[in-house]
């Protein structure tokens, strides 16, 4: 009986040694898995921050351009299309467009080209002039490169 108790105790201690060895290896595996997961989450987080930053920049450009177009529309509605245009020929006027209390567009170019046209309706012809108006402002004023152009 002593021999069987000794064999059982020996088998039990060997099982405990194997269990400890397995736990020891698993601790290292879990640490590596946690490290990889943390790195992946960090990369995903940086990607999201970059995407949000790019979206904010695009929104800023769009807002500036939208404000410029609104200001040009307000000028057209308030003063009319041909305001400041000559009776015939071409003219370019440079002005400042005020969009708000503390926001102005410097160097707004309004170019008018007046073209004589003949309009015919039901066989009746009438001579008239057609003003072609073009507004242009350097887009660096609007937070970007290039020129914003609006024309009829």
Write out pLDDT tens, residues 2-37.
566 665 566 667 777 776 666 655 567 788 888 999
Residue 82 has which token pair? 């041909």
Amino acid 32: pLDDT = 87
**Helix count and strand count (H, E) for the chain:** 1, 4
How many other CB atoms are found less than 10 A from the CB of residue 64?
19
Residue among 126, 136, 134 nearest 85 (CA): 134
The pTM score is 0.51
Contact (Cβ atoms closer than 8 angstroms) between residue 41 and residue 119: no
**pLDDT tens digits, 90-144:** 888 777 777 777 777 777 788 888 888 898 999 899 988 888 888 887 766 555 6
Amino acid 115: pLDDT = 85
- CA 110 to centroid of chain Cα atoms: 28
| 3-state secondary structure (DSSP) of residue 78 | helix
């Amino acid at each position: 009986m002593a021999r069987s108790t000794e064999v059982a105790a020996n088998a039990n201690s060997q099982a405990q040694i194997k269990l400890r060895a397995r736990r020891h290896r698993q601790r290292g595996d879990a640490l590596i898995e946690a490290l990889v997961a943390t790195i992946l989450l960090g990369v995903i987080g940086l990607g999201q921050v970059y995407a949000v930053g790019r979206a904010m920049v695009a929104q800023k450009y769009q807002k500036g351009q939208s404000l410029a177009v609104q200001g040009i529309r307000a000028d057209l509605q308030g003063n009319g299309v041909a305001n400041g245009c000559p009776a015939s020929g071409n003219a370019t006027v440079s002005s400042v467009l005020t969009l708000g209390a503390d926001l102005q567009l410097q160097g707004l170019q309004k170019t008018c080209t007046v073209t004589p046209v003949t309009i015919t309706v039901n066989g009746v012809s009438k001579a008239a002039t057609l003003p072609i108006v073009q507004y242009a402002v350097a887009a660096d004023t609007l937070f970007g490169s290039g020129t914003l152009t609006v024309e009829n």
